[in-house]
Amino acid sequence: MFDYGDGFRVGFRSLAFKRLKIMTLLELGPVWFGAWNRACEVVLDDIEINGSSLIGQFDMALLHPMDICASLISNALSVGKSVVYSPGAFLAGEIYAYHSAVPILASYIPQSVTKFSDRMSTWERTTNTLLTIMHNFATYIDNARLSPAYQQAIYFARPPHNDRENAHAIVRQAVENMIINGFVALDFPRPLPVGFHHLSDLTLSNKASQSSRSPVKLEPEWERLLSSRKGAILFSFGTIAKSSEIPVDMKMAFLAALAKFTDYSIIWRYEEAFPEALQYEHIHLVSWLPQKDLLADERTKLFITHGGYNSLLESTKAGVPMVLIPLFVDQYGNAMRAVRLNIGVNVDKNTITAESFASAIDQVLNDQSFADRAKRMANILGDSLIAPDVALSHHLRTAAKEHSTKYTSLIQAQKFTFFDYHCADTLGILVLIIIVSCQLIY
């Protein structure tokens, strides 16, 4: 439904290996919001909502959790029920967390762009609180008040003769149910209402329970690489950030570190020529690799990753420990999830050197506890009573029933103002009572 366009991919790719500074974050904003604006424009161009024959023809809509345009269009088409489907972890930074009134408690729920875990120092909690307030404010302002495309979507989505209803009131009607393609054990602990469901992982298996590793038959090329030494190390930065765009100093630091591990076959997803790497027989550059299949093989001993949620999910499900080098956005939070579970080591891209990178690899490879914990975590994730596709079908059928979440969703909390929700009015009354009491006593 949504076409993010080359601007989204190129914009994020250009920021992937930059050192994070205030100006870098300011560059990120236009890329992020511009992508969602363009996506909304594309959908509005494709669907003639006003007077469209599609109105009232749908019983249910599946909505993306990072943007509100889909909710507005769903409302405009008079869709019976809406369900938010999150392809990754339910993060504190997601827009629908705000709109669904799910508690975003800054004391132990870190914002997704931070490097914090659920155990924060006083300074980290202070920083996280400020970021949470800023995020809530930005979410309230959002594209809906700034973008012509969103204004058009809001206009179509308003009920007849109700010009005063804003985007946020419309979106709140769509967040009674959220389905999350992930494991609750991988997320930071947080309170969630009854209508929010973790499915485990739809992309890995349709079986209710499976072993931590279910190897598949590999092509001869991959068999050769996995069998040539005592084990294999996979190295990939995913699909958005290209390894070939790594700055020269960082690239040479990676190569110098990897050159030390001659006992392992290192399979590095690298899209272009890298002549300096050709001198090392154990380092193999490939433009593509079957990541899930290689992770499922017992000969894979380590996964070096950027910490994208799919990579975190696949590696944890396969029981492979990680060295994580998060690049941007949610990858910092994902890396901290792995560190929190003691199944990986986090390396800061801003300060990485050949020595620090090699030390992280050596730590994970030679400390058996990482591999043991990764296997135990894989067994936990693989032990499910209900297959993900069966669970998805059940939750969708339940959500489609009229008033299915009338008594379990946070509808009343959604109606609160900011001051009501945080009991600011109550605190004001209590402070006033204390002041008056002190005056009367003294």
> Which pLDDT tens digit goes with each residue over 24-70?
555 566 666 666 677 777 777 766 655 566 777 788 888 777 667 77
Residues 328 and 429 in one domain: no
What CA–CA distance (Å, rounded) separates 121 from 93?
20
What CA–CA distance (Å, rounded) separates 177 from 404?
10
Q: Which of 337, 422, 396 is nearest to 98 (CA)?
A: 422
DSSP character for 184?
G
Residues 258 and 404 in one domain: no
Comparing 255 with 19, which gets the higher pLDDT? Answer: 255
Strands in 100-195 per DSSP E:
178-180
What CA–CA distance (Å, rounded) separates 143 from 184?
30
Q: Which of 117, 67, 59, 19 is nearest to 399 (CA)?
A: 59
In this prediction, residues 308-329 reach a mean pLDDT of 89
* Residue 320, pLDDT score: 94
Between CA 372 and CA 327, with CA 388 as vertex, the angle to 5 degrees is 60
Q: Is residue 189 part of a domain?
A: yes
Residues 371 and 238 in one domain: yes
Residue 156's Cβ-side half-sphere holds a number of Cα atoms within 13 Å equal to 25
> Which CATH number does the domain housing residue 228 bear?
3.40.50.2000
Q: Is residue 167 part of a domain?
A: yes
Instruction: Residue 441: count other Cβ atoms within 10 Å of its Cβ.
Output: 6
Residues 100 and 149 in one domain: yes
What CA–CA distance (Å, rounded) separates 376 from 323?
18
**pLDDT over 70 percentage in the chain:** 71
Residues 169 and 264 in one domain: no
Say whether pTM exceeds 0.85. Answer: no
In the sheet with 232-236, reading across from the earlier edge strand, the strands are: 283-286, 265-269, 232-236, 300-305, 322-324, 344-346
What CA–CA distance (Å, rounded) separates 323 from 200?
23
- pLDDT tens-digit map of 394-431: 888 877 776 666 666 666 666 776 677 777 788 888 99
* Residue 411, pLDDT score: 64
Residues 179 and 282 in one domain: no
* Residue 188, pLDDT score: 84
Split into its structural domains, the chain has a count of 3
Cα end-to-end distance, the chain, whole Å = 67
**Residue type at 300?**
T
* Residue 112, pLDDT score: 74
Give me 162's structure tokens. 């109700």
- pLDDT tens-digit map of 367-396: 999 999 999 999 888 877 777 888 888 888
Q: Is residue 21 part of a domain?
A: no
Q: Is residue 105 part of a domain?
A: yes
CB 63 within 8 A of CB 74: yes
**Residue type at 295?**
L
Q: Which of 236, 238, 279 is nearest to 256 (CA)?
A: 279
Residues 138 and 109 in one domain: yes
* Residue 111, pLDDT score: 81
In this prediction, residues 112-140 reach a mean pLDDT of 81
Q: Is residue 27 part of a domain?
A: no
Q: Which domain holds residue 423?
A: 417-442
**Residue type at 235?**
F
Q: Is residue 257 part of a domain?
A: yes
Instruction: Residue 339: count other Cβ atoms within 10 Å of its Cβ.
Output: 16
- pLDDT tens-digit map of 321-369: 999 999 877 788 889 989 999 999 999 888 889 999 999 999 999 999 9
Q: Which residues of 410-437 are buried (b: 16+ CB within 10 A; e: fewer)?
A: bbeebeeeeeeeeeeeeeeeeeeeeeee
* Residue 74, pLDDT score: 80
Residues 181 and 238 in one domain: no
- pLDDT tens-digit map of 165-215: 566 666 766 666 788 888 888 888 888 777 788 887 776 554 544 445 666
Q: Which of 208, 3, 177 is nearest to 90 (CA)?
A: 177
Transcribe 301-333 into DSSP letters: EEEEE---HHHHHHHHHHT--EEE---STTHHH
Q: Which helix (H) or strand (E) holds 360?
A: helix 354-366
Q: Is residue 25 part of a domain?
A: no
Q: Within its chain, how far is the Cα of 311 from the centroid?
A: 11
Give me 222's structure tokens. 């991959």
Comparing 208 with 296, which gets the higher pLDDT? Answer: 296
DSSP character for 62?
E
Task: Please name every residue paired with 236 in a beta bridge, in sequence order, or none if there are none.
Answer: 305
Instruction: Residue 249: count other Cβ atoms within 10 Å of its Cβ.
Output: 11
Q: Which of 321, 269, 263, 319 is nearest to 291 (CA)?
A: 269
**Residue type at 24?**
T
What CA–CA distance (Å, rounded) separates 279 from 257?
14
